[in-house]
Amino acid sequence: MITTSLTASLTIQERHLNRLKEFLIHQDGVERAAYILCGESSSSLDPWTGHPHRKFFSYDILPVPEDEVLSSSDQHITWKTDSFVRTLKRAQEQGLTVALTHSHTGGFAEFSDQDDANEPDLVELAQHRNGESTTLLSLILTSDEKLVGRLWTTQQQWIPLRLISVVGESIRLHYPGRGQGQSSPILQRQALAFGRVLEQDLAMLRVGIVGCGGTGSATAMLLPKMGFRRTALFDKDIVEESNLNRLHGATQADVDAKRPKVEVIARSLTELGLGMQVKTYQSWIGDPECRDALKACDIIFGCTDDHAGRLLLNRYAYYYVTPVFDMGLAIEVSPSEPPEIKAMDGRVTALVPGHTCLLCRGVISPAIARDEALKRNNPTEYERRKAEAYVLGEGNPSPAVVLFTTDVAIMAIEELVHRLQGFRGENGSVAQRVRKFHLMEDRRQGANPDPYCPVCGSVEYWGRGDVDPFLNLVG
């Protein structure tokens, strides 16, 4: 029964889905069951619907013990509630939500009448054990790896999950009607290359772009032409004259009017007439007013050049199991005239649980992030410390060329498309790709996580979702 404006979705770590398949899908065709413990992200307002949204993330997997199964066949499974009560206890202690998961080995990707009859009793037990506000997820995994789910909010009320994502080396989406419907005539040529389903997948995704300069504006302008339909833009800066050589959509009139970058890009996207719904946030990404919009995003492109912003997104990718495609361009030149190009490196790093983070790759510096935070929050103190050489001052502007910032944006979108569609084939995902433009080389850069890294060296916070303080960041 559905009588609420609340929406919900679930993201499963790829490693967890692999474990579920081992537990639940056997050649004997008998149904089996497991529990998923889930972290949660709660947004009071989804920017695109105006309704509250709850997003859940797989945190741990617990199979139902074989000795607790009372009966099972290829049509049903029943088991004692002992393990369910133990799981509820752990969920309450850790602030997690339980997802009941069972297999439908015949490929039937719908809840059965038996499921409808049994689950309200389990909701009642959960709410008696953990409190009246306790919710319960229910999930079906079929033998052909289809997923369908719902969220029980009371014994009488449930809502379907808007989207179930499986995130890891690949990104797999599950939602009602996937693979049905007609392609847009605008995207017909793209469908000839990638198929019709990719267009549907892209239209389902909510995409955040953090930083709206050279790479961010290029990313934004390409998204609607690929079939994306919802994006959120985050950047606190206005358009300056030095931006005009690489900020797509910006004009001299925007410089004169001191227009925010997010408004300029939003205008350009709207003028394309391709149905893109754009939300803008003229704030630094760590500001609380960005939080609901950030948490509503399914994919994030990190296009900021500040270490503090990258540090936040670096943690966010793991806590919220949200793929972040961080990008950067570094050009090193000699002091001669004309300058000699010594290095010209475009980088795209994919951040998801199981990949090495930006800290362990040496891409971001906590010391520089600290100084940036001081400058943002206490500029007077920053200038005093800068004068006394206690903080790193700004140097000369970094070189930037629109050809290469745009190319890096294409690399990032290409990585996302591969993870959704798989056009590069098996082992085609690249955790960190560096294009050395001056050498005409692409390199895959491996890196091992620091075992003591709190972000990627331990699974403790992967899928944890909302914690207080946000991302366990203090100060």
Percentage of residues in the chain having pLDDT higher than 90: 85
pLDDT of residue 306: 93
pLDDT of residue 395: 56
The hierarchical CATH code for the domain 7-167 is: 3.40.140.10
How would residue 471 be classed by pLDDT, with cut points 50, 70 and 90? Answer: very high
Task: Render pLDDT for 47-98 as a digit per residue (tens, 0 to 9).
Answer: 999 999 999 999 999 999 999 999 999 888 999 999 999 999 999 999 999 9
Domain boundaries, the chain: 7-167, 185-456
Task: Render pLDDT for 306-337 as a digit per residue (tens, 0 to 9).
Answer: 999 999 999 999 999 999 999 999 999 999 99
What count of other Cβ atoms lies within 10 Å of the Cβ of residue 216? 28
Handedness of CA 352, 354, 356, 360 (dihedral sign): positive
Q: Tabulate helix, strand, coil % of the chain (nearest 5).
A: 35, 25, 40
CATH superfamily of 185-456: NAD(P)-binding Rossmann-like Domain (3.40.50.720)
Task: Render pLDDT for 254-308 as a digit per residue (tens, 0 to 9).
Answer: 999 999 999 999 999 999 999 999 999 999 999 999 999 999 999 999 999 999 9
**Cβ neighbours of residue 327 under 8 Å, at least 6 residues apart?**
215, 301, 302, 303, 346, 347, 348, 349, 408, 409, 411, 412
The pair phi, psi for residue 76, each rounded to 5°, is -160, 165
CA atoms within 13 Å, Cβ hemisphere of 69: 16
Task: Render pLDDT for 101-110 as a digit per residue (tens, 0 to 9).
Answer: 999 987 788 9
Q: Is it true that 7-167 and 185-456 share their CATH fold? A: no
DSSP 379-431: HHHHHHHHHTTSSPPP-SPPP--HHHHHHHHHHHHHHHHHHHH-TT-TT---S
Helix ranges, 77-149 (H): 82-94, 113-130
What count of other Cβ atoms lies within 10 Å of the Cβ of residue 28? 9
pLDDT average, residue stretch 432-455: 96
For residue 238, the 8-state DSSP code is B
Task: Render pLDDT for 349-398 as a digit per residue (tens, 0 to 9).
Answer: 999 999 999 999 999 988 888 888 878 888 887 676 656 655 455 556 78
Task: Render pLDDT for 173-224 as a digit per residue (tens, 0 to 9).
Answer: 999 999 987 889 999 999 999 999 999 999 999 999 999 999 999 999 999 9
pLDDT of residue 468: 94
| Distance of alpha carbon 53 from alpha carbon 258, whole angstroms | 35
CB distance 303 to 209 below 8 Å:
yes
Task: Render pLDDT for 134-146 as a digit per residue (tens, 0 to 9).
Answer: 999 999 999 999 9
The residue type found at 124 is E
